[in-house]
Amino acid sequence: MFERLKYNNRKVNPHYQASGVKSISPDDNVFVHLARIYSNNHKTMHLGHSPGCDDTFEGGVTNGAEWYNVQGGMQDFNYVHSNCFEITLELSCCKYPLAETLLKEWENNEEALLTYLEATQMGVKGIVTDTKGTPVKGAQIIVSGIDHPIRTTESGEYWRLLIPGDYKMSVEDFRHQVTPAEHVQIIDNKTPLVVNFTVLHSSTTETSASSLDKFLPELKHHNYKEMEAMLQNLSAKYPLVTRLYSVGKSVEGREIYVLEITDFPGQHEPGEPEFKYVGNMHGNEVVGREMLLNLIRYFLENYGKNDRITKLIETTRIHIMPSMNPDGYELANEGDSDGYVGRNNVNKVDLNRNFPDRFDYKFAQLPDTDPRKSRRENLIQEPETMVMMQWILSYPFVLSANLHGGSLVANYPYDDTEDWLRTYSKTPDDEVFRSLSQTYSNAHKTMWSGNPCSDSNDEHFSGGITNGAEWYIVSGGMQDYNYEHSNCFEITLELGCNKYPFARDIGIYWDANKEALIKFIEQVHVGVKGFIVDENNNAVSGAKIYVDSVEHPVHSADNGDYWRLLIPGMYSISVHSPGHENQSTKVIVKRDSSTSLNFTLRTLSSELEAMKYHLPVSGNIDSYKLSIINAETLSSFSMENIDMVDYESFENLHHLTVSNQPGAADDMKIHIALVGSLIGHSGNEVLFKLARHLTLGMRLKYQNVIKILQNAVIHFIFIPQSESLGSCMDVGDKSEDELAAELKSLYSLLQSRHFDLGIGFGSREIGLKFPTTEKAIYKSLKQIFNESDSGIDGSVNCGASIVDTRTKQSDIFTTMGLVSLSLFCCNEPELKTLASTYTKYEKHLLDILELSSQGISGQVLDGEGKALRDAEVSIKLADGRTEIVRICLNSGNFIHMLPAGSYVLKIFSNGFLEKNVQVEVVNQSLREVTVSLQLDSNVKETTNSMSMLKHPYDHFYYPRMTFREFHNKNPELLEYYDVDVQKNSGEVLGLRVGKRTWRKVGIVFDGSTISPTNLTSWLRTYFSNVAENSVKPQVQYEFLLKDGNDTTGGLSLSTVFNWISAHHFPLVFDIICNSPLTTEEQTYFLNEVGRMDKMVAENILSMLARAKHHQEEMNYGSSCETCAHKVNPGISRQLTNLWSSSGTLVFPVSMTCVDGDHSMEDVQIIHTLKHINELLENLHGIQGFVTSSMHEPLPNAKLTFGGNDNETVAWTDSFGHFEKPLLLASEVLVKVSAPGYLSASKVVSVTSGPYQKIHFIMEKDDSVLGIPRMAFVALAATTFLGIIVVFSMCVVICRRRRALNSGSNNYGFFQMNNAIIFEDEEEQLFSVQQDRVIERKFKLDSEDESEDRSDDERSPIRVGMRQWGKKT
């Protein structure tokens, strides 16, 4: 026989034809699939031909009849007369091979045999029973379109082989009714889909409709590809009621899918509420994911059959997101009941802690030393979070649930508190949230009992619901974000204690949650709904709908429709809308139903509208209030308008940014800075009103506002003022130092960013003042005010004497390069004047902002269409002056504001021919200009000529702006920070590039040798590699460089030393324009460092020498002797001192000087950093972390590597991270010590691969004076007790001796006089003092003690003896 596989030809026709004609069975696709399973897993069969065989078979398979006819074959008999699918296997060309070849035959067939056995699991299996649960024997299992039924066994079981696809299956049996066709979707070939059938007896009166709800959930977990295929198949199968779309991509590029289910998918039907379910936010909590996939199937298969489901689909727009965290899911493991693997996204961020939080401003107020400030997880929004925020704000969602796992409870907002203490945190809609949560809990099979997990007996939830913050605090949660920033009411559902149950248990979860999932969606129709229109029946969108005193309005959608969830009761509903009269009415809300309530609003007159609209408090048209402008109110304003507004505190100023896409790339937009008044509230009030106008205008879709924010980013800079309003000429209570500090901060802010136009709002005069450096756009500003009855056509002094020179704000603003616009004579105008003045000048201010859409924009390209990012564009004005146009360093695009008129653009770039272009600018239009430059054949001459045209900053400018652009786009990978300010040498800047957890290296751009601008080309390449996931090795670069155009002097040794010591770099490279180390210098350095570090240093110096040789071969430029002004020995001659004091190895990297040719410096920087990168990639060593047993990082822990005379050290940084480059070795002893902790050690092998990673977990050192704490306590207690015992014994002994002596006579001698002996009246005692005998008298009890003593009584006494005892 031949080596090939023959599948069934089903010769059922007695008049079959000759060989060569294919005979197809109804299950031909199944037979072909089975045949290919074996052939593809056979080592040679799939080739289709073997030596010694004459025939060739495509893929190693053939149809039996097509090869040759066989009558009475067994494979056909199996198929025709049983349920069995059989194929014929031809295993070898040799029918009876030699015994010694059998082992080879086994190897060829082993995998194929086993894989073919596994094919029995493909398709569908199940049991057929009647309504009493009795198995039905011999029932036919019908698959629509396949004319080959199979029959059930005596136990009612069946197995039906099918390949992946959609099928309709039913059951036929002569004793029972035919079952309705059941839709079956087979996803893969590995696990059979379980589909059970219940049949009705022919005589029964039961309707077949009741069996429609007999839905069988799929007992399997769907990975990303399976989920994607399932959603795509369902959407294709039910196109009339579904729409599959993606809200965006995860970190790893997986689509975050949503399946929309409604009768008109893809559009919002006016009046129809929108609902969403979100599952799998935590990747390892998978029950919600599978419940939602089953819910989708249940809805689609019952639409048109089940009245309840049909009604829900036709009256609700349902959005179902099975997986918000598809990346995390792929990491999780089935059976992991309470673990954390896969919980976070791949950036290791908990997505339910990553949303903006209502108390974020409280974190900002914490001191930098407070770990809560740096450890919170919503400092930067992850890609998954960003797309969710956009999705939430893009649809008029009314109700939502976020499905989790790990407990069994319905959790409702708020999740946090202001002081982060665990306590009940009510929303204004607390009763509504409690009702919604209770609805789900009551409909769930067990949640209502309140006892979630058997292993958590101490946890009980009354009614199966809980307030989030009362359970535990979550900052940055999604349910709070929904409530705070949209109309959507969202709760979090914990669906079970097992986060990732086995697939076999999915049916249990479905049975418990099915009714609750449906019941919760129905709650979207409970409360009040309606439309809001004006008197002309035009829809009013963005109107606020208030309920009684509840401080949480909802907003009407684009069609004027609204929905307000409420529990049963009577309410007062009011509607507020800019430009319309407020309206209120009462309404009664009934249980489980919605009440329709429409509003027709009357349009206000323009004057009333203006008065109402411009007040700080929306809807208040009768009173005026002073805006409280501080971090809290501006942060709140930003949160309310998060899709348009960004807030930051800049030193002691407040910076509010308004754009249509905050956080997105804005280098091709005009940036306008508006600065509040230095003294008084007038400027701040005007700016805040204007900011409100822009945000509300975007909400109301005012075309002029939309246009402004499409083309510009508006920066509102508020100067802090007191919270009370002073008198007209009040200059405030600021000291000179406070004002100076604010001016310094303002100057720093203006210098750190590029602003195309800046305006300061002053007072004490009415008019415009311009800086001495004129800009063309100033002409348009003058026209705005001159061509209208503004009263501002110059600078008008208000006539009042200026007592304090600080109030001359216009001079300060113009000195800083700002246009000064003063609208008030008073520093503190009355509130009524503030409102009316703003109303008067609002159009003028908007006209100024609209100048952002007037001028030129374009790009400079080379002959191949590539952007020339280093091109220079200048504009020649009519008066002969020239303006420099800003070029975006990322894209090479440019944009510039200009008044209407004709201009000549002069474009040049190094190595290209200069080009002049004539352009015409018209009002309210940006003229697009794309310029292509031709290469100059004489590049060197062109370079020299171009160098003369550089702007005044030469090639060394403030790099913060560029770094900030990179940071905004790559916040995790780039950060810049201040290091030092050097006298006469400018500011020193630190720049981190790469993730903090990567290996790190320090790079010093020493002094004026290298310009910071040379880094930009390398950064572009670096981030391009990041986007392509090709960054190798994973190294964190820390740069130290100058920040400013002052290039005198280099970096001081103390600055560099402090920077190195603070970061604990293992290696630092000092890039300078200088000669490399001499042989003597290298020898001295190598002899001073330790033997272990010496070997590493020798290796690095050797690699640097090779790199230097390559650089010289490239002939980049002249030698250092020709540009001596750049020579700066820097820190590289201090190698030994730096190593001995910090343990850091510092190496000089010398570059060739290139006078005047900064593009060549760019090339050198790129090549130099490339060589450093290659050097690092070839290094080996050890890195890791040192933490406490509580996983807190331990900074400044000391690590020693090796021992005795072959020892080197390293220290941990502020994150507890350390690393040490080492040469290859079999084993290295690593010891670590940290104050307050016990020492630890490990033996680590240094291999040729990546750095070996280790983690030291340090135990607290509880010893006292070197003695273990418990032993010390015991010793101290024993010692103390011993002292007490000894003292007690002494006391006892003394008392006993005294008691013994109390009964005996003691004798002593004393001096007496005669009176004592003979008269018993007085006694005299003598004492010796200062060589004199002094007589001392003591009175006795005689009655004549007052008598005078005679002389003879004072005569010297004789020595006598007197008896005395205990008492004398």
Report, as residue numbers or ranges, the catalytic residues: 90, 494
For residues 358 and 321, give the distance between their C-alpha atoms in angstroms, rounded to a whole number: 25
3-state SS of 313-327 is HHHCEEEEECCCCHH
Task: For residue 1031, give every residue at least 6 positions away whose Cβ sits within 8 Å of its Cβ, in sequence order, or none.
Answer: 994, 1022, 1025
Task: For residue 1194, give every residue at least 6 positions away whose Cβ sits within 8 Å of its Cβ, in sequence order, or none.
Answer: 1186, 1187, 1188, 1212, 1216, 1234, 1237, 1258
For residues 1226 and 1248, give the distance between their C-alpha atoms in angstroms, rounded to a whole number: 11
Nearest to 819 by CA among 828, 829, 806, 809: 809
Helix 703-711 with 831-850: angle, nearest 10 deg: 60
Residue 946, H or E segment: helix 939-947
| Beta pairing class for 855-861 and 926-932 | parallel
* Cβ burial 631-644 (10 Å sphere, 16+ → b, else e): bebbbebbbebbbb
3-state SS of 609-642 is HHHHHCCCCCCCCCCCCCCCCCHHHHHHHHHHCC
Which sign, positive or negative, has the C-alpha torsion 208, 214, 215, 218? negative
Residue 944, H or E segment: helix 939-947
Show the tokens assigned to 668. 């091709």
Show the tokens assigned to 272. 């129809």
For residues 115 and 40, give the distance between their C-alpha atoms in angstroms, rounded to a whole number: 10
| Beta pairing class for 489-496 and 544-547 | unpaired
Residue 885, H or E segment: strand 882-885
Residue with tokens 């981030």: 1023
> Cβ atoms within 10 A of the Cβ of 654, count?
21
Show the tokens assigned to 597. 């309530």
For residues 413 and 995, give the distance between their C-alpha atoms in angstroms, rounded to a whole number: 34
| DSSP structural state of residue 177 | P
H helical segments located in 999-1117: 1014-1027, 1053-1063, 1079-1088, 1091-1114
| DSSP structural state of residue 1077 | P
How far is residue 332 CA from its own chain's centroid? 20
Conformation bin of residue 423: beta by default, left when phi > 0, alpha when psi is -120 to 50: beta
Helix (H, G, I), strand (E, B) or coil at 604: coil
How far is residue 778 CA from its own chain's centroid? 41
Which sign, positive or negative, has the C-alpha torsion 1306, 1307, 1308, 1314? positive
Rg of the Cα trace of the chain? Answer: 44
Whether 966 contacts 1032, CB under 8 Å = no
Whether 1115 contacts 992, CB under 8 Å = no
Strand ranges, E, within 936-1074: 974-982, 986-993, 999-1005, 1035-1043, 1067-1072
Helix 102-118 with 28-41: angle, nearest 10 deg: 140
Whether 701 contacts 777, CB under 8 Å = no
Helix (H, G, I), strand (E, B) or coil at 1145: strand
